[in-house]
Amino acid sequence: MKFTLSWLKDHLDTTASVDEIAEALTDLGLEVEGIENPLAKLSSFTLGKVKKAEKHPDADRLRVCVVETDEGDKQIICGAPNAREGITVVVCKPGDYVPGIDVTLSVGKIRGVESHGMMASERELELSDEHTGIIELPSGEVGESFADWMAKNQPEKVDPVIEIAITPNRPDALGVRGIARDLAARGLGTLKPEKTAQIEGKFPCPIKVTIDDDTREGGCEVFMGRLIRGVKNGPSPAWLQQRLRAIGLRPISALVDVTNFFTYDMNRPLHVFDADKVRGNLRVHRTRGGETLIGLDEKEYTFPAGAVVISDDHEIESIAGIMGGLRTGCTEKTVNVFLEAAVWDTIQIAKTGRATKINSDARYRNERGIDPEFNAPAIELATQMIMELCGGEPSDVVTAGEVPDVSRAYKLDTDRVVSLVGMDIPAGEQRRTLEALGFRLEGDLAHVPSWRPDVMGEADLVEEVARIASLTKLVGRPMPRAHVGVPKAVLTPIQKRENIARRTMAALGYNEAVTYSFIDKESAGLFGGGADVTMLENPISSEMSHMRPDLLPGLLQAAARNQARGFMDLALFEVGPAFDGGEPEESHLQVAGLLVGGTAPRDPWGSRRPADVYDAKADAEAVLSAIGAPAKQMILRDAPAWWHPGRSGRISLGPKNILATFGELHPKVLDRMGVKGPAVAFTLWPERVPFPKSTGATRPALAASTLQPVERDFAFVVDAGVEALTLVNAAQGADKALIESVTVFDEFHGAKAEAQMGAGKKSLAITVRLQPRDKTLTDAEIEAVGAKIVEKVAKATGGALRG
């Protein structure tokens, strides 16, 4: 919302400066977004008098002038035809910035003669486009500030423009009067009395107006109008044009400019029809759907069913409360005008506005809510203004519907105001504030003014009192903790787990990424998502159309972007939600890690090798361990389709509870995602790791034996398809009490192994660590355990000790 200072002063009697007004507005909740103050750029210029003007010795068109200024006489070279002795001019001195030519002046020499400044034209000072000569002032003293002179003598040319942001609850501040009322309540001046007019109709209105029965409710409350015949339309007067231009509107014609004036002056949209183009009567009704209208903006609009429009006897002529039709619009030739003021249902305006995508000043105001009680006065005031500007003779006013009764009152509990705001605002001050804003107080009941549709309860009264009292003055008041003493930890177990997983990943060398929760359909599809239930109805682009089913596609896209920048070795991770469906409960927390390229840069030590599935597995296991997953886990094989079928696994507790999937990503998936592979990764579900049942911090006692442990190595020849974990578990089972650990330390497979051990065979070597508990083991006992291990392994895998 834009307005000028002089416009504000139509409603507010004030001596406050623009800066004071701006500060108050922002504090009141009408946030100032910009001030354009033409006076600000004139501040350095002063008036001077030309004492002498002689032709330049070396240039016919230039004059050498002696100008009397506040700093004494100055020699200035001037090319303007009107530069002559005796005139009062505006002097720009060396050091001054001249806005219209974007130059900071210095002492110059023009054709060998020194010039100490310039005398300005209106264009050079950005006052107008006038540049035929320098400014000649009819009054003013030498040395007087030009800004002061302008403010006093030609304020309309230097009217400051203030732009404020209007929150949706303040439609009244979409009119200059509403803004003035707030400022007056704050004490920045006095609100001038409201203007009224009563224009008697000279003849019955030939155009009748009706509202269809199904359109009263939720459509149109009241529709008033009158004909003014014999008007002479044309450009509106300069003061009105200047105002409209100042706030960024284009003056069109007197009739249209009057409606725009009321829109901004009183938050009162009006419409004018060229009555001669209206065929028969006007009828407010709902659309069937599919009808069209060419609007005043010359665009064609198609209506949905149920929109409210205004038709004459033939067709739709206006989109009610939003935009008039082109055919019946007023032109320079209009002589008979039908003036409309109506109150429309705000929700219906919003719906039709969205359907037609029209963003007009009228829609903006009608959907936020105008003052219904101002409907009849507006017709009278606008008629008066039209007659002043265009002449003409008014008819009686025709009315359909009724002005809605919006009267209501709420209790002002002054103690509660103090309790909520935490400021000591005296009860009398609270009442004065509300009255200044137009509320009528009756005991402790505050009757809401008709222009404040937002005030719907006691809480709104509190807000009015608080903002006028100024929240800037609010002083903080300590709020002690609800419980005295050392604060308790507040994170839930899963919140702690998320933090631990994140920091473990960073400690493992991964860089945390935060990627968008939505991805393109194809990428989602590659990872088991992309169903319509996870689709956005209005995505910002096709790259962000579906909720991600997994964190990996986002990380892979990030990897591809980094590869394109020349970074080929990547360790990225993310912790965040993945989405299984379109309902609120259908999401879950994931931790995903992605390794692409080498494990390290090339170095003299051969540290670099391609990241492989065992890196991904190690990292997944490290995170699982950090968040407290039980050590005993199963490895299942049937990972989903986006993993390499032979090089992936799933870490699970039992056959159902999958804690993590790890492996190489499927080469086709990498190809589709544009990542140069190979790439290994894991996805981990922290919520699936069971929480420990006991919450105590006590650890079990350490059972460290003083007896020497014994380690024995075994190498087995097994079928190539035998999995190490089967073998390890078998060995472990040979003597659960004595065997502390079994670890694989060698795998020998491939052609060489087969040459030695037979086709389809490989060798797995394990170290078994025995920990005696009550006495040192004898050789015979060690032998016996060894034999048992060999037997168990043979039974479980069909393998035999390697000879």
Partner 1 sequence: MDDLRQKYLEAIAGAGDEAALEDIRVAAVGKKGEVALKMRELGKMSPEERQVMGPKLNALKDEINAALAARKEALGDAALDERLKTEWLDVTLPARPRPAGTIHPVSQVTEEVTTIFADMGFSVAEGPQIETDWHNFDALNIPPHHPARQEFDTFYMHREEGDERPPHVLRTHTSPVQIRAMLAQGAPIRVIAPGRVYRSDYDQTHTPMFHQIEGLAIDRDISMANLKWTLEEFCRAFFEVDEVELRFRASHFPFTEPSAEVDLRCSWQDGRLKVGEGDDWMEILGSGMVHPKVLEASGVDPNEWQGFAFGIGIDRLAMLKYGIPDLRAFFDSDLRWLRHYGFSALDVPTMRGGLSR
42/555 with CB nearer partner 1: 555
Distance from CA of residue 721 to its chain's centroid?
Answer: 57
Distance CA 784, CA 565 (A): 61
Distance CA 373, CA 599 (A): 76
Angle, alpha carbons 354-357-363 (nearest 5°) = 70
Q: Minimal distance in Å, beta carbon 201 to partner 1?
A: 36
Q: Minimal distance in Å, beta carbon 548 to partner 1?
A: 11
Angle, alpha carbons 476-479-483 (nearest 5°) = 170
Write the CB contacts of 721 (distance below 8 Å, at least 6 apart in sequence).
Answer: none
536/801 with CB nearer partner 1: 536
168/428 with CB nearer partner 1: 168
Q: Minimal distance in Å, beta carbon 427 to partner 1?
A: 17
398/547 with CB nearer partner 1: 547
492/776 with CB nearer partner 1: 492
Please tell me whether 58 is known to bind a ligand.
Answer: no
Per the rule left: phi > 0, alpha: psi between -120 and 50, beta: everything else, 111 is left
Please give the C-alpha separations between residue 402 and each of 217, 243, 398, in angstroms, as whole numbers: 11, 34, 12
Q: Minimal distance in Å, beta carbon 23 to partner 1?
A: 10
Angle, alpha carbons 78-80-82 (nearest 5°) = 115
Please tell me whether 463 is known to bind a ligand.
Answer: yes
Q: Minimal distance in Å, beta carbon 535 to partner 1?
A: 4
506/641 with CB nearer partner 1: 506
Please give the C-alpha separations between residue 167 and each of 163, 172, 262, 368, 471, in angstroms, as whole numbers: 13, 11, 20, 10, 17
Q: Look up residue 362 and give its amino acid.
A: A
Q: Give the residue ranges of DSSP H helices in 210-291.
A: 213-216, 238-246, 254-266
Q: Minimal distance in Å, beta carbon 787 to partner 1?
A: 43
Q: Minimal distance in Å, beta carbon 357 to partner 1?
A: 12
Q: Minimal distance in Å, beta carbon 303 to partner 1?
A: 18
Write the CB contacts of 699 (distance below 8 Å, at least 6 apart in sequence).
Answer: none
Residue among 559, 674, 662, 561 nearest 617 (CA): 662
411/795 with CB nearer partner 1: 411
Strand pairing category for 440-442 and 282-286: unpaired
Q: Minimal distance in Å, beta carbon 404 to partner 1?
A: 18
399/534 with CB nearer partner 1: 534
Q: Minimal distance in Å, beta carbon 570 to partner 1?
A: 7
Distance CA 514, CA 574 (A): 6
Please give the C-alpha separations between residue 284 and each of 40, 214, 287, in angstroms, as whole numbers: 50, 10, 10
143/598 with CB nearer partner 1: 598
Residue among 86, 96, 84 nearest 134 (CA): 84
22/738 with CB nearer partner 1: 22
Assigned token pair, 705 = 């034996």
486 CB-contact burial (10 Å; exposed 0-12 / middle 13-18 / buried 19+): exposed
Please tell me whether 454 is known to bind a ligand.
Answer: yes
Distance CA 30, CA 170 (A): 9
Distance CA 544, CA 548 (A): 9
Please tell me whether 405 is known to bind a ligand.
Answer: no
Q: Which residues are annotated as a binding site?
A: 454, 460, 463-464
As annotated, the binding site for Mg(2+) includes 454, 460, 463-464
